[in-house]
């Protein structure tokens, strides 16, 4: 018998939610065949079977949260699809249906004594780690009676270990009364639409909160006169597109190259805190935020210090297409050292972007607006952009942050110098 195990997808991913089973019990599977889809915090992963045979058992259902290394199904290499479909299915089906029936009837009677482990509540299946389920079974604890510490309601081993069975009756009464307040807003359903957050939305929300609470985040601002770079782009865009097989010359490549040059000059902006150490990255993988129907994702353009404008523009275009088609791989999303986000495409004039993950800083671009400014003592109307650098003050001091942003400004305002940096 071969186990189907949740594989280690990436260092930062410890669990995922089963979205759908492609194969059913009794189906034939080939070695390397895609049998179940798993939604992780970053991307959806296709889990394959390492053995050919027949899928004889599914241990985790759609909607279950499973940890890396957990066994979620079993494949019999010696089985055949016809055998389980003929004899066992007809004989075992009544037995399987007869067994749960009394359990559902006895569960309410046995609940006060809690001798039977329940894995479902009135609101649906309890979300719990496999280790927590195992410990709950061993202790004879109803998972539905546990109040987890996790704000998402996931029951972990620590919750089971800390659960006090003597206080089980009181929570039961509280839970019984819980549906009443939830039912109250039902009368106002015409005014409120309730939509469950996706796993990725919950993860993004938690991580943004963690960054806000776990860093000494500060934001510094500047403004950039886009006159020269816009003029250069206008002069060169047609020749650039013709030379590079239709690749368009956008502003993102200019900002990516400017950021890369500034990261070299200010290494602290390209660093991160790991425990009690500061790790100064010697690589330059710049994340470019991309908006998709499922939310914002940040794939990385690798080695921007070694790439020219055309290569950067090509990478950005390819990653944007993959992001919108949900084809990004974990390798596209991991390991970035700095991030650029452009709220200007949506009309944002100014904002304070939140640092991405464990990075030290993020650059926010904004809308280009014609504004009157003083030029050599005269008032002129110029295309201006506000830029913002949010940074972790634990690593980057004020001088470094202002110097970094000022260098980006000067390079964009003098694109010929930027070309020399390339």
104: three-class secondary structure by DSSP: helix
> How many CA atoms within 13 Å lie on the side-chain side of 101?
6
* Mean pLDDT along residues 102-111: 43
Per the CB < 8 A criterion, the answer to whether 319 and 286 are in contact is no
Cα separation, 15 vs 176, whole angstroms = 31
Q: Where does the pLDDT of residue 123 fall: very low under 50, low under 70, confident under 90, or very high at 90 and above?
A: very low
Burial class (CB within 10 angstroms; exposed 0-12, middle 13-18, buried 19+) of 172:
middle
Q: Which range (104-113, 223-232, 286-295, 343-352) has the least confidence?
A: 104-113
* Mean pLDDT along residues 14-31: 86
* Predicted local distance difference test score (pLDDT) of residue 198: 78
Instruction: Report how far apart, in Å, the C-alpha atoms of 131 and of each of 5, 68, 149, 236 are.
Output: 15, 12, 16, 60
Angle between helices 251-265 and 309-324 (to 10 degrees): 110
Cα separation, 163 vs 166, whole angstroms = 9
> Distance of alpha carbon 229 from its chain centroid, rounded?
34
pLDDT in tens, 45-79: 778 888 888 888 898 888 888 888 889 888 888 87
Cα separation, 13 vs 202, whole angstroms = 14
pTM above 0.75, yes or no: no
Domain 201-421 indexed as CATH 2.102.10.10: no
Per the CB < 8 A criterion, the answer to whether 29 and 54 are in contact is yes
Q: Where does the pLDDT of residue 157 fall: very low under 50, low under 70, confident under 90, or very high at 90 and above?
A: low
Considering only residues 229 and 142, tell me which one the structure prediction assigns the higher pLDDT: 229
DSSP letters spanning 291-330? EETTEEE--EE--TTS--HHHHHHHHHHHHHHHHTT---H
Q: Which range (71-80, 108-117, 366-375, 402-411) has the least confidence?
A: 108-117
The answer to whether residue 257 scores a pLDDT higher than 60 is: yes
Active-site amino acid positions: 341, 393
The answer to whether residue 176 scores a pLDDT higher than 60 is: no
* Mean pLDDT along residues 286-309: 92
Alpha-carbon torsion angle 127, 133, 139, 142, nearest 10: 30
Considering only residues 418 and 380, tell me which one the structure prediction assigns the higher pLDDT: 380
Q: Which range (18-27, 156-165, 229-238, 349-358) has the least confidence?
A: 156-165
Instruction: Report how far apart, in Å, the C-alpha atoms of 177 and of each of 36, 183, 315, 329, 350 are.
Output: 38, 11, 55, 45, 46
Q: Where does the pLDDT of residue 150 fall: very low under 50, low under 70, confident under 90, or very high at 90 and above?
A: low
* Mean pLDDT along residues 262-282: 96
* Mean pLDDT along residues 75-102: 52
Instruction: Report how far apart, in Å, the C-alpha atoms of 19 and of each of 35, 47, 130, 328, 333 are.
Output: 11, 11, 17, 17, 21
Cβ contacts of 71 within 8 Å, gap of 6 or more: 3, 4, 5, 59
* Predicted local distance difference test score (pLDDT) of residue 102: 45
Looking at every residue in the chain, the average pLDDT score rounds to 81
CATH of 2-98, one of 2.60.120.10, 1.10.10.10, 3.30.110.30, 2.40.50.100: 2.40.50.100
- Comparing CA positions, the residue from 228, 255, 302, 280 lying closest to residue 407 is 255
Cα separation, 328 vs 332, whole angstroms = 6
Annotated domain spans of the chain: 2-98, 101-188, 201-421
């Amino acid at each position: 018998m071969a186990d189907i195990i949740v594989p280690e997808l990436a260092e930062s991913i410890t669990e995922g939610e089963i979205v759908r089973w492609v194969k059913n019990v009794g189906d034939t599977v080939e070695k390397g065949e895609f049998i179940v889809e798993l939604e992780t915090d970053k991307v959806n992963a296709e889990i394959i079977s390492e053995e050919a045979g027949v899928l004889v058992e599914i241990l985790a259902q759609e909607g279950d949260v499973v940890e890396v290394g957990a066994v979620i199904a079993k494949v019999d290499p010696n089985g055949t699809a016809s055998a389980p479909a003929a004899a066992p299915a007809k004989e075992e089906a009544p037995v399987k249906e007869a067994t749960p029936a009394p359990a559902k009837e006895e569960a309410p009677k046995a609940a006060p004594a809690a001798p039977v482990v329940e894995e479902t509540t009135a609101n649906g299946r309890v979300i719990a780690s496999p280790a927590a389920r195992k410990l709950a079974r061993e202790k004879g604890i109803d998972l539905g009676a546990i109040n987890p510490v996790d704000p998402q309601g996931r029951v972990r081993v620590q919750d089971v270990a800390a659960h006090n069975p003597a206080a089980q009756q009181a929570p039961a009464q509280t839970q019984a009364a819980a549906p009443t307040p939830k039912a109250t807003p039902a009368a106002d359903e015409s005014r409120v639409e309730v939509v469950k957050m996706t796993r990725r939305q919950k993860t993004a929300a938690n991580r943004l909160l963690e960054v806000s609470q776990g860093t000494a985040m500060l934001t510094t601002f500047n403004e950039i006169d886009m006159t020269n770079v816009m003029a250069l782009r206008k002069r060169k865009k047609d020749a650039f597109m013709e030379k590079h097989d239709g690749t368009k010359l956008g502003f993102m490549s200019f900002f990516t190259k400017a950021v890369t040059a500034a990261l070299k000059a200010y290494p602290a902006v390209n660093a991160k805190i790991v425990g009690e150490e500061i790790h100064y990255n010697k690589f330059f993988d710049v994340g470019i935020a991309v908006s998709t129907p499922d939310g914002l994702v940040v794939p990385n353009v690798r080695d921007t210090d070694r790439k020219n404008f055309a290569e950067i523009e090509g990478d950005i275009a390819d990653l944007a297409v993959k992001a919108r088609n949900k084809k990004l791989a974990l390798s596209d999303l991991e390991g970035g050292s700095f991030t650029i986000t452009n709220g200007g495409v949506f009309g944002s004039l100014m904002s304070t972007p939140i640092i991405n993950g464990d990075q030290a800083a993020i650059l926010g671009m904004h809308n280009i607006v014609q504004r009157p400014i003083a030029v050599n003592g005269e008032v002129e109307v110029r295309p201006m952009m506000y830029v913002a650098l949010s940074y972790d003050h634990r690593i980057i001091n004020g001088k470094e942050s202002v110097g970094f942003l000022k260098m980006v400004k000067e390079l964009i305002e003098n694109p010929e110098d930027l070309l020399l940096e390339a």
